[in-house]
Structure 1
Amino acid sequence: GLNKEKTPSTTFTIGIDAPDVVRAKTKECADQFNILKVKLGRDNDKEMIETIRSVTDLPIAIDANQGWADRQYALDMIHWLKEKGVVMIEQPMPKEKLEDIAWITQQSPLPIFADESLQRLGDVAALKGAFTGINIKLMKCTGMREAWKMVTLAHALGMRVMVGCMTETSCAISAASQFSPLVDFADLDGNLLISNDRFKGVEVVKGKITLNDLPGIGVMKI
């Protein structure tokens, strides 16, 4: 098994919303997490970041959700975001614009990770050079066996790795957490965003993914 002491901190997502709501959500979670995730790709991107920065100076990971249509605009935004304490960018442009994404990656001061551009193991090698790294989600890649192969291949290609999630129960989040000691970034907050979780498993302690000693993936049904 992997060393569970090497699990990373997980991001916690601040969704696109009105400034007052964003400010309140940021205040609520700023003391519980070590890094935030912010979804951008709309016309209020800078306002979102400035609102969060009025509350906390925690590092920020950005998911642009394919929302930037022009590569020069995207690169300019990335430089601005770096000045605001952003540490990584997911999917700055639509997946169809792979050449433009590669152009951004070559000049970006921040690592660029594939999200929508990546589904399965067969996609990984084709993204080398276009992205700094990949975001692996079990719900897209079919499960832990293929995810492990994707991590191994990405590392062999000199790419960085992130593990992400959808809105999921603690069962799926605990499964994804098993290989989190191998990744550079983790976005495993999906179980924290639901109120009807039927499982108990991995926990977040002081912002860090914390694996337990239960058999298998460490899950119990509630």
Structure 2
Amino acid sequence: MQISVKKYTLALKHTFSISRESHDFQNSLIVGISLHGKTGYGEATSNPYYQITVESMIAEITAIQNEIESFDFATPEVFHQFLVEKGLTNFAICALDLAAHDLHGKLQDKPLHTLWGTDISTYPTTNYTIGIASIEKMVDKMKETPWPIYKIKLGTNDDVAIVRELRKHTNAIFRIDANCAWTAEETIHNAPLLKDLGVEFLEQPLKADDWSGMEQVMHHSVLPVIADESCIVETDVEKCGLHFNGINIKLTKCGGLTPALRMIKKGKEMGLKIMVGCMTESTVGISAIAQLLPQLDYVDMDGAMLLKEDIANGVVIKNNGEVLFPSISGSGVTLN
């Protein structure tokens, strides 16, 4: 196998703000794995919350590049286990795992969703994310991109008032993501008010380790609650099942498609709603997420839609939320 790594700085259409940070650019690592004339592509973004940079991921990968390139590639699952044993971070593993899955599908000449035996005739519609900003700017973003489902980022002193104002401008479904900014008391108080404003569920309202608070929320919230920062890796799924109604799986955080597939299976066995979310990736990462669509209840895969300019071709999301799957195999990714 041959490995290539490259850093991209992705410019965003608008400043993107959540409860703990704001940014205008997203640094991202693109990995290529080539074998037998085919190349698979994977992606992982930098993330200050988890202290991950593109440079740190590149250092991890290049440190064992010779071992990776001499690895006898058969399946993504075996390759993933090899990477875990080498002690790479989940972010670096994700980029390599996504590339391995894309490569595997291209070598088999089948899309991943076909290899997994799933049917893409029905799938959930992605939400479109509205970051924290002035109400005027948030409304402008909705008008710029009319969409059937919005994820609203909150974590201010006037969260319910913001949603009440946004509701005046659209009939779309709202999903609320407080990114750990609320207390249990705030969540329980806000939930009925938000439900009346057409909110479907709350995502990660409390700090990731506030399990006692989440137990209160589970017993008293009138809205379902989905885990995000509390559900990072496979071992988190079981604990989340006792404190949340569903889980939001991020490929970069869990280490790629290989563990995500196992997390989906475990979550479904526990009766949890299953969501997969993105990290403002390009179409490389979004196309990998799209392969999972038939297995999901909810999806947040608008990352490439938030960019000024994309770096790849693959899955296309139309203005009505319809997903156009690529004609090529694997994740269907080619770099521009």
Length-normalised TM-score, structure 2: 0.63
1:64 is aligned to 178
Matched, 1:118 2:231: yes
2:134 is aligned to 18
1:6 is aligned to 122
Shift of residue 193, structure 1, vs aligned partner: 1.2
Contact 1:87 1:111 in 2 (8 A): yes
Which residue identity does 2:140 align to in structure 1? A
1:43 is aligned to 157
Which residue identity does 1:156 align to in structure 2? E
Q: Kindly report which structure 2 residues correspond to 1:177-216, keeping only aligned pairs within 5 A, or say none.
A: 177-205=290-318, 206-216=320-330
Which of 207, 212, 216 lines up with 1:99 in the alignment? 212
Q: Kindly report which structure 2 residues correspond to 1:154-169, keeping only aligned pairs within 5 A, or say none.
A: 154-169=267-282
| Structure with greater Cα Rg | 2
Question: Separation in 2 of the partners of 1:212 and 1:111?
Answer: 34
Please give the secondary structure, in 1, of the residue aligned with 2:171.
coil
Please give the secondary structure, in 2, of the residue aligned with 1:191.
helix
Identity %: 34
1:221 is aligned to 335
Query: Residues 118-147 of structure 1, C-alpha deviation per residue, up to 9 Å, x if partnerless?
Result: 111111111112000100011111101110
Question: Separation in 2 of the partners of 1:107 and 1:6?
Answer: 33
State how many pairs are aligned. Answer: 219
Shift of residue 196, structure 1, vs aligned partner: 3.5
Unmatched 5+ stretches in structure 1:
none
Question: Separation in 2 of the partners of 1:26 and 1:199?
Answer: 25
Structure 1 residues 115-124 or 207-216, which shifts more? 207-216
Contact 1:102 1:130 in 2 (8 A): yes
Contact 2:234 2:259 in 1 (8 A): yes
Which residue identity does 2:275 align to in structure 1? M
Which residue identity does 2:314 align to in structure 1? G
Contact 2:187 2:221 in 1 (8 A): no
Q: Whose strand proportion is higher, 1 or 2?
A: 2
Question: Separation in 1 of the partners of 2:329 and 2:133?
Answer: 40
Please give the secondary structure, in 1, of the residue aligned with 2:244.
coil
Matched, 1:74 2:187: yes
Question: Separation in 2 of the partners of 1:213 and 1:8?
Answer: 20
Please give the secondary structure, in 1, of the residue aligned with 2:215.
helix
Which residue identity does 2:127 align to in structure 1? T
Contact 1:178 1:217 in 2 (8 A): yes
Structure 1 residues 144-153 or 95-104, which shifts more? 95-104
Contact 1:10 1:209 in 2 (8 A): no
Question: Separation in 2 of the partners of 1:77 and 1:36?
Answer: 18
Unmatched 5+ stretches in structure 2:
1-113
2:259 is aligned to 146
Which of 107, 116, 136 lines up with 2:249 in the alignment? 136
Query: Residues 175-205 of structure 1, C-alpha deviation per residue, up to 9 Å, x if partnerless?
Result: 0111111111111011111223211111112
Q: Kindly report which structure 2 residues correspond to 1:83-98, keeping only aligned pairs within 5 A, or say none.
A: 83-98=196-211
Length-normalised TM-score, structure 1: 0.94
Query: Residues 67-101 of structure 1, C-alpha deviation per residue, up to 9 Å, x if partnerless?
Result: 112x2221110111000000011011111211211
Question: Separation in 2 of the partners of 1:25 and 1:47?
Answer: 18
